[in-house]
Structure 1
Amino acid sequence: MPTPETPAAQDSAAPSRGPAHPAGAPAPAGRRRGRRSAGARPSPALFVPACAAALLAVLPLLYLAVRALERGPAHAWDIVADERTAALLGRSLALTAAVVPACLVLGVSLAWLTVRTALPGARAWSVLVTLPLAVPSYVAAFAWLSAAPGLAGFTGAALALTLVSFPYVYLPVSAALRGTDPAQEEVSRSLGHGPLRTFLRVTLPQLRPAAAGGGLLVALYVLSDFGAVSLMRYDTFTRGIYTSYRASFDRTPAAALSAVLVIMTVALVAAESRTRGRARHSRTGRGTARPAAPAVLGRLRLPALAWCGTVVAVAVAFPLGTLGYWLAVGSSATWDPTTLTDTALTTLGVAAAGAALTTLLALPVGVIAARHRGRAAHLLEQAAYAGHALPGITVALSLVFFAVRYARPLYQELPLLVCAYAVLFLPVAVAATRAAVVQAPPVLEDVARSLGRSPLGALREVTVPLAAPGIAAGAALTFVVCMKELPATLLLRPTGMDTLATRLWTETGAGSFAAAAPYAAALILLAAVPSYLLGRHRT
């Protein structure tokens, strides 16, 4: 994914608007400092905590290498070559192969209808089709399983994951449609090509990078999902790893299966990169971008409205309606309001701690990635993204191994769970921090340094206040995903502690749908508040 240049880099690449600087004369102080801040080595006050964050992020990969090979390569190969592993591989790939194309169809069609056509209420529909992002996969699985128990298995898992994942395709494709040059489509229409042929031969190729990126996110989400496949009782790698961990004191099989899952993830990322290629699509004209004229639907107006309404009904209205039904059926005999309140407060506290630590670790990494160029800065940023390729259950296993071997007092304690959240969601906070710091002019830091402030002082008094809204948005998003995280929480939570996610998983696994409904409703309600604030921040 391309990353924006820093302001300093953009300034150095821009043509000069004033008289040329005399040859041999010293460069102006401001420009000289700006170049040094973009390319010089990071300050130790930033570099040391950034290295600590990167080390924490790559810890799961080190664990996999050590644990999988602990009893020798031959033993690890026997596990990988086992028939059960091959079965898990086939089932995981089959589920991915079913969900990704379905999400591509839903995401691309809805994006085209809401962005490029005169669809009635297009703005409202564009908001409604993004709401499934607030529904955890295990909540969607709970809703469908409680309404139709016969869906358990592949069909139910594919349905639940598709309905919560298609916004990952819709969002980048709709953004690409808004930024694509309409002139090429107009030329195609002027040459006598109809709307369908123009879409297939002109518009769709321009959407390929965005669609491929969204499809990759869906594939990674499906491979790392644990809640939906567990509730639907469909064995994939994540469920196999969890079962292996719980069934034996030997952790080598779980580590070997996790290593296979990581290899699958790397292969998917490489395949998406090759599919995307070096294609670049940009405007052909000069000046400001011109929005495309919305296509008139005509006789397709009612089918388009029916399509949007059906998707919103099954992805949003149905889960909410199912929760409402079970809330009406249930009573204080099936769930305890006091327990619900305590669990909700625990969830908020754990998620807040996870978001705080993740944001704190992401700050030095994001600043270095935005303000410095070079191999060290690149390696730190890439290391911070290591957790993005790992499922929560693999991260949890690595931290269990680390705690038992080297930090026994942390085993099954809250700090270990908070560290797991930091590993899993550090990329979310780093991306938000980097984007916010890039938008803060580096010249203001140079001014602070010229007034005697240290690099850390300039960061604290200038950079962080300017980037605070973007950093806060990243913290809010991290808070939401921490609340919904399930597998790492199941393995690392302190004894006797429950979150809304784990309580929902426990009650649903026992078939107590009425008892599980309040926890699902509370989880969606709590996640909706920061999600709404994020939406207001971005509009």
Structure 2
Amino acid sequence: MSKSVENSECQAILLQDNRQTAQGAQRLISGGRQSIFSGSTALIGLLFMASIVALISLVPLGFIAWVTVDVGWQTVVSLVFRARVGDLLVNTVLLESTAVPITVALAVALAWLIERTNIPLPNLWSWLMVTPLAVPAFVHSYAWIGVSPGMHGLWSAVFISVIAYFPFIYLPIAATLRRLDPAIEDAAASLGLGPWPVFFRVVLPQLRLAILGGALLVALHLLSEYGLFVMIRFDTFATAIVDQFQSAYNSTAANMLSGVLVLCCILLLGLDNWVRGNERYARVGTGSIRPAQRQSLGLYLIPALLLTTLVTILSLGVPIFTLLRWLYIGGTDIWRMDTVGNAFIQSILLALAGGVLAMLAAAPMAWLSVRAPGRFQRILEACHYYVGSLPGVVVALSLVTITVRLFLPLYQTFATLIIAYILLFLPRAMVGLRASVAQAPVELERAAMSLGKSPTRAVWLTTMRLAAPGAAASIALVAMGITNELTATLMLAPNGVETLATKFWSLTSEIDYVAAAPHAVMMVVLSLPLTLLLQAQSKRTAGQ
């Protein structure tokens, strides 16, 4: 009897130990994405820094809200609920719903052809697909207007938007394809799946984060783009807002349009948040060290070459041809170093300063969104993103109002201009950093802590080093955006400061396309090394 009781007690003890072990394992699995800073002062510090950036990002929205309250509800209703706003909303919805899916499909197709098939000269095609980032969007528009002056309307806007912005989606997709473990695809093929089912059921789901990040970036750019659509006479909220400020000087109507634009941005962020979900994309270990086997295109090789060649001609050939024609017509007389050289140097300094500071401002939120997700963090992240959809003129006017009324010494200074750049390009900095942090396993941070490192030191030695290529890519993306930024620079730059973009715009506004050509060429020259850096960093991340 006593032996039976002892056996029962032993079994109960063993069962309890097994349950505790299972619960511990479950906590470990479910906590795979949780921060090692949970409950620490370091986490509070990161939340505080992210909150400060979010509050500064809310300044333009607060400016719009203040104007809304100041003018009264009746004025708001009369300015918002009118036919003009309805037309702009229809144009925006048609543009977003048409251009973004086409851009995604084109980027996925090009990335798969170049990274996973036997297409000749894949490295050359890879560089050519990224190089269009060096050409500003409004230079694309100018180039096509020079070739086909009759281009205008929705489909012209969609066409130029796709060829100008597809590299934003191609780049993260191609980088992700290089890092995917080919053993997963081999396992799917061994179960009887063909090449197409393997792509749609195994490869494409792993590209989800890269596709969503790039698509969100393109969608936000389409909301805030001005120069591209003005040249082809396609009305959007951004063009209408700038028109109100510059032509009619009606700031109240422009701010009401800005409010509608902010609502469009919030809808995009909500859609991205819903589609993205909470899946984990990191892995522990390097996976298979061999490169993925390239698929034979067979009879489809010629159509694949035609597609890549056509995209290269449309995105690079036409702008280069137009610029060379302008330079040939102008000769050496248009190369005035007192104007072109001065604008070039100032553009470099502003681009580098803004790129580094924007990356630092986005870093706390990028880490929190992956390592410590939560409802409050999602709100902070949305604040980081929404400001990227606002036209530069709205951000600039909000900063002008605040500096004039509260901080007059900061009016038209480099500090105010840099703040505007950080606000405008926070989404660019966030996308690259968030994807890099998401692919850095949190287990490495825990392993570093088990070796005696502090949480901050563990993050710095593991995640931050693994995310360094993403940080460099973010700096390059922001710097390219600053080089080509127009409206905020026009309004906030100190007296005597002229960038390549503002000088190019002023000359083309005077229909002096020949004199504007050197500035356009220098913008491309300045952006090209940053574009090549993006490509090099993406290859280095994949170990190539």
Could you tell me the TM-score, scaled by structure 1's length? 0.78
| Letter aligned with residue 186 of structure 1 | A
Alignment of 1:221-370 (within 5 A): 221-274=221-274, 288=288, 293-334=293-334, 336-362=336-362
CA displacement at 1:321 relative to structure 2: 2.5
- The number of equivalent residue pairs is 497
Shift of 1:530: 2.9
Query: In the superposition, relative to structure 1, how do residues 205 and 423 fare at CA in structure 2: closer, same or farther (>3 Å)?
Result: closer
Tell me the distance in 2 between the aligned counterparts of 1:117 and 1:462: 36
Question: What value does the CA root-mean-square deviation take over the aligned residues?
Answer: 4.1
* Greater mean deviation of Cα atoms: 524-533 or 303-312: 524-533
Q: Are residues 260 and 489 of structure 1, via their aligned partners in 2, closer, same or farther at CA, if it must alter by over 3 Å? A: same
**Paired residues of 1:80 and 1:256 also in contact (CA < 8 A):** yes
Conserved 8 A contact 1:67-1:251 = no
Cα distance, 1:41–1:185 mapped onto 2, change above 3 Å? same
Deviation at 1:244, TM superposition (A): 0.9
Distance in 2 (CA, whole Å) between partners of 1:368 and 1:274 is 18
TM-score of the superposed pair, with normalisation by structure 2:
0.77
Partner amino acid for 1:225?
A: E
Q: Could you list the per-position Cα deviations for residues 503-531 of structure 1 after superposition, in whole angstroms to 9, with x for gaps in the alignment?
A: 11222233222111111110111112233
CA distance in 2, matches of 1:50, 1:67: 26
Structure 2: stretches of 5+ with no match in the other structure: 1-19, 22-33
Q: Match for 1:105: what amino acid? A: A
> In 2, are the aligned partners of 1:393 and 1:487 still within 8 Å (CA)?
yes
Q: CA deviation at 1:198?
A: 6.9
CA apart distance, 1:497 = 2.9
Return the letter of the residue paired with 1:420: A
2:121 matched residue in structure 1: 121
Which deviates further from its counterpart, 172-181 or 434-443?
434-443
Kindly report which structure 2 residues correspond to 1:91-240, keeping only aligned pairs within 5 A, or say none. Answer: 91-175=91-175, 177-178=177-178, 179=180, 181-183=184-186, 186=189, 190=192, 210-240=210-240
Tell me, what secondary structure is at the counterpart of 1:511? coil
Asked if 1 retains the 8 angstrom alpha-carbon contact of 2:224 and 2:388, the reply is: no
SS of 2:71's partner is coil
Deviations for 1:183-215, whole angstroms, at most 9, x for unmatched residues? 476368x47x6x667767876677666545543
Give the equivalent residue in structure 2 for 1:483. 483
Stretch deviating more after TM superposition (429-438 or 160-169): 429-438
| 8 A contact 1:39–1:371 mirrored in 2 | no
Distance (Å, rounded) in 2 between the aligned partners of 1:107 and 1:429: 20
Q: Which runs of 5+ in 1 are unaligned?
A: 1-19, 22-33
Q: Secondary structure of 2:425's partner?
A: helix
Deviation digits for residues 267-309 of structure 1 (CA, Å, limit 9, x no counterpart): 23333455566788999xx964876533222222122111111
Q: Give me the whole-angstrom Cα distance separating, in 1, the residues matched to 2:153 and 2:332.
A: 32
CA shift for structure 1 position 317: 2.4
Q: Distance in 2 between matches of 1:102 and 1:61?
A: 31
Amino acid at match of 1:327: L
Partners in 1 of 2:302 and 2:148 — Cα distance? 29
* Larger deviation, residues 229-238 vs 474-483: 474-483
Instruction: Report % sequence identity.
Output: 34
Looking at structure 2, the residues matched to 360 and 226 of structure 1 have their Cα atoms a distance apart, in angstroms, of 27
Counterparts of 1:67 and 1:306, CA distance in 2: 53
Determine the structure 2 residue equivalent to 1:14.
none
The 3 A distance-change label for structure 1 pair 445 and 382 is: farther
Structure 1 residues 522 and 44, CA gap change in structure 2 (3 angstroms): same
Alignment partner, residue 499 of structure 1 = 499
Which amino acid in the other structure matches residue 93 of structure 1?
A: V
Q: 1:417 to 1:459 in 2, by over 3 A?
A: farther
In structure 2, the residue matched to 1:82 is 82
Residues 144 and 156 of structure 1 are in contact (CA less than 8 Å); yes or no, is this contact kept in structure 2? Answer: no
Post-superposition shift, 1:247?
Answer: 3.2
Give distance in 2, aligned partners of 1:53 and 1:114.
39
Q: Is the 8 A contact 1:103 1:165 kept in 2?
A: yes
Give me the whole-angstrom Cα distance separating, in 2, the residues matched to 1:460 and 1:114. Answer: 34
The Cα offsets for residues 110-141 of structure 1, whole Å up to 9 and x where unpaired, read as: 12211332111223212211222222101111
